[in-house]
Structure 1
């Protein structure tokens, strides 16, 4: 009952001027009618004839006055037109949020603290006032903020931080004040309010100060800090949720101190189970073939965000529609992923000799990845031009890894050299297509030696942070020699492998020339035909394969 009373009072607070204006207009109309009735008929007719002109004149004058008043005296450009969204209109619950279970559990705790703020206050604890969501784009920060508002049953005010910024001085601070004033009114009427500020780094970066004073960005952020401080002493149940894709180191420390945005929720990209759940969620929204395996799709899309998965499913539906099919098939899904990851196929005229050299180049990458890489599996090989490449071998890790050991880094160098080795083994020469491979291999080798202490000479330390001129020529020479040795040894191992597996090498190259593309199942079948079991899939590798495995990956 108390909140109903508050809502009536809130209605008159927000719309009192409109009600008073309507009542005043009605009184004036009645007085005018009474006055007209008291006039003689001649004067009454003259007055009635002038009323339309007077009415139009009054409207124009009122409009001009209102425009001047609103722009000069009521903030003008600083005006904020955001409307609150009630919780039942948001209608997103935690059950609708999939793929980020850990973050969802943390947010459930936030909801409990918001709901039980009275109990927390009685115990003597501090009421939760600010939450900061940190994570990559497309991982559901806005979505989960809406779920918090729905679960708490509170109105939801959402703004992007960039909406506070304007070229005019003081506009940003004014908009911050208006946002929190509106939140306080809603909290008074509904028992609380959730404010969501997206892309917080646009207004929350570390402040800069100079002899010329602070900028408009500092003023806006200072006002936000003041409003957040004001929540601590307020009786209204207002919770501010900020979201950012940037590192928290970018944000001003004053924003993150206790009492402001002190509760941090880290929202990361989903793991294998999370991606499978997201695929299942979006596949339910389209007509698809029952043979589509969400788990297999999840295995292929390591590193995908929920937004990227949704985009892939929508793209597959478009492909099925263009191909005049009523349901999405597995081929539609794989083509959608190829378009997202590799780009559209380009109608480029390639002569037979260049196409053949591209096939042997990509075959070198394929065999090096399949037999030498301990973590990555080959999902596709293609010699159909895409973007600025004539061919591609698509490979991804079979599971999530958050660090790389020496063997994995060496394997990446060997895979990069696969194309160069394939061209040299087959033709005794190479093409300009190896430039990006060399760049990748050199970058990894330099990192191993100069930063990670993985060179043969055992020089340990991050030599890239040593100021120029403080490293002796002997140390620089040794580091460069270690780098070149890693490159040469890796290239020799790949060339030896391709010469030893010459029959397999030729078979894959001819298959690519004939078909243009090889899918995962076709690649697996050819390797099994030659007795090369996938150790990443089937576990233990055969003795003939163990020679080509890094030490940590040998059976």
Structure 2
């Protein structure tokens, strides 16, 4: 309704009510009907407007400011995924060219991958790339306790995309559904669920998309759990392309850091390449947080520029949490120090020059931690390399056993990590069980294989740490007093023990 129409209506209604009151008409039923009608209208407006809708446009606003759209150049670390997505979007843009080859434009693109890798950003960039209307919704917006509400919202979403494209004179519209696994999960037999009706409606709408019609509709969906989606969604003709959006490699991480460093005062001596190396396994969202936390640390220290130590602190913060004010007893500090030294000694022995720092400062849930020097990105591991990782994880508990005769609850996370690595060995055929499917192996066989692997590696770890018992004694006082043991200091202590062994031999 236009603004003029609203003003006329506001002026007429009081006049009509006054006339009816003058004529002696009972206004109570009229008012009740009016209230009910207004309530229904308001609720329907909220339901259709509850789906988040934004449109991308290349034009500047009247105020002269550039609108907040996103391009593929603004997304770092996903060159392969962006290339795949651009190729799929080109089918939407160059419609006349692909008709010569009889190619059917895609109806749906599914973006899968870990959280924080940029799936939503890529969908927004796709709208700008194709000059399309962008309509977005989250899977949770279609879930209601009332039967049929989710299905009706799906219909409204498609109608909204078509009407906005026609109104803005666009040739295409992109509908983005985030966390589609909420409504697109596998359907089970038996009782009909509200989720099933919503999914059925989505399938019906996707089947009703005619790629020859204008405006052309493209569905882009994102999920972290592709394995949970119903097979009817994944078949060709619905989601035709499945694009994996993985965690960025070192080159990708450097690109992400450079993008987020544009508006920050970075010191000239800072090496973003080193930050990218130290942040192995970080997602794009975590890298953005690293840049933000580094700026916060610089502001706390009163520096005008962000320096390298600020980035090191920020990586620790994102990885393990903020420093805490826990006051541990001296005995607890001694046990934690021995525990972390156990990790560090094994790490330095199996991966020389890998230890950057041993810290006794509580951070997050950890009472202490070992910071490692950046290593090259690695995605394939041999049996011996996985065994070395397990030994590093076991080093803390073995050190406690050496000096206290038993373990503490501080080894719980280490054991979880070690058991996960053993599971990787089993699934990769790197154990005595051979090449097996874990689901086809009995629990007893798995427990025996696990016990054999862990028992053998615990013995190897204990034998290694016993060689460097003197390093524990020499490092313990420094670590408790200073709370930090530099990697170079630590290596010097280990080297002195090795030199003594050579001399005595």
Q: TM-score, normalised by structure 1?
A: 0.76
Match of 1:409?
Answer: 386
Change over 3 Å in CA distance of 1:174–1:484 after alignment to 2: closer
Q: CA deviation at 1:295?
A: 1.1
C-alpha offsets along residues 412-442 of structure 1, whole Å, 9 cap, x if unaligned? Answer: 23213322443455x3634425642773486
Q: Of residues 453, 460, 464 in structure 1, which corresponds to 2:434?
A: 460
1:495 aligns with 2:462: yes
Q: CA–CA distance in 1 between the matches of 2:229 and 2:315? A: 35
Of 131-140 and 250-259, the range deviating more from structure 2: 250-259
Contact 1:441 1:487 in 2 (8 A): no
Q: CA deviation at 1:495?
A: 3.3
Match of 1:198?
Answer: 178
Match of 2:48?
Answer: 79
Contact 1:413 1:444 in 2 (8 A): no
C-alpha offsets along residues 375-409 of structure 1, whole Å, 9 cap, x if unaligned? Answer: x9334321223344432224487233334321122
Contact 2:105 2:211 in 1 (8 A): no
1:527 aligns with 2:491: yes
Q: CA–CA distance in 1 between the matches of 2:7 and 2:422? A: 80
Contact 1:413 1:440 in 2 (8 A): no
Contact 1:373 1:412 in 2 (8 A): no
Of 430-439 and 177-186, the range deviating more from structure 2: 430-439
Change over 3 Å in CA distance of 1:390–1:95 after alignment to 2: closer
Change over 3 Å in CA distance of 1:86–1:504 after alignment to 2: same
Gaps of 5+ in 2: 59-66
Matches within 5 A, 1:52-451: 64=35, 66-67=37-38, 70=41, 78-82=47-51, 83-88=53-58, 89-188=67-166, 189-210=169-190, 212=191, 214-232=192-210, 235-236=213-214, 237-247=216-226, 249-373=227-351, 377-395=354-372, 398-425=375-402, 427=403, 429-433=405-409, 435-436=411-412, 439-440=415-416, 443=419, 447=423
Change over 3 Å in CA distance of 1:102–1:274 after alignment to 2: same
Change over 3 Å in CA distance of 1:191–1:526 after alignment to 2: same
C-alpha offsets along residues 262-303 of structure 1, whole Å, 9 cap, x if unaligned? Answer: 112111110001111111221222223222211111111111
Q: CA deviation at 1:328?
A: 2.3
Change over 3 Å in CA distance of 1:170–1:530 after alignment to 2: closer
Gaps of 5+ in 1: 1-16, 30-46, 533-541, 546-555
C-alpha offsets along residues 31-51 of structure 1, whole Å, 9 cap, x if unaligned? Answer: xxxxxxxxxxxxxxxx99968
Q: CA deviation at 1:123?
A: 3.3
Q: CA deviation at 1:485?
A: 4.7
Change over 3 Å in CA distance of 1:208–1:437 after alignment to 2: closer
Q: CA deviation at 1:107?
A: 1.9
Q: CA deviation at 1:445?
A: 7.9
Q: CA–CA distance in 2 between the matches of 1:445 and 1:48? A: 78
Q: CA–CA distance in 1 between the matches of 2:258 and 2:330? A: 43
Q: CA deviation at 1:177?
A: 1.1
Q: CA deviation at 1:449?
A: 7.9
Change over 3 Å in CA distance of 1:182–1:448 after alignment to 2: closer
Contact 1:131 1:240 in 2 (8 A): yes
Q: CA deviation at 1:116?
A: 0.5
Contact 1:369 1:377 in 2 (8 A): yes
Change over 3 Å in CA distance of 1:366–1:318 after alignment to 2: same
Q: CA–CA distance in 2 between the matches of 1:105 and 1:49? A: 64
Q: CA–CA distance in 1 between the matches of 2:459 and 2:242? A: 49
C-alpha offsets along residues 118-141 of structure 1, whole Å, 9 cap, x if unaligned? Answer: 222243211222111111111111
Q: TM-score, normalised by structure 2?
A: 0.82
SS in 2 for 1:123: coil
Aligned length: 481
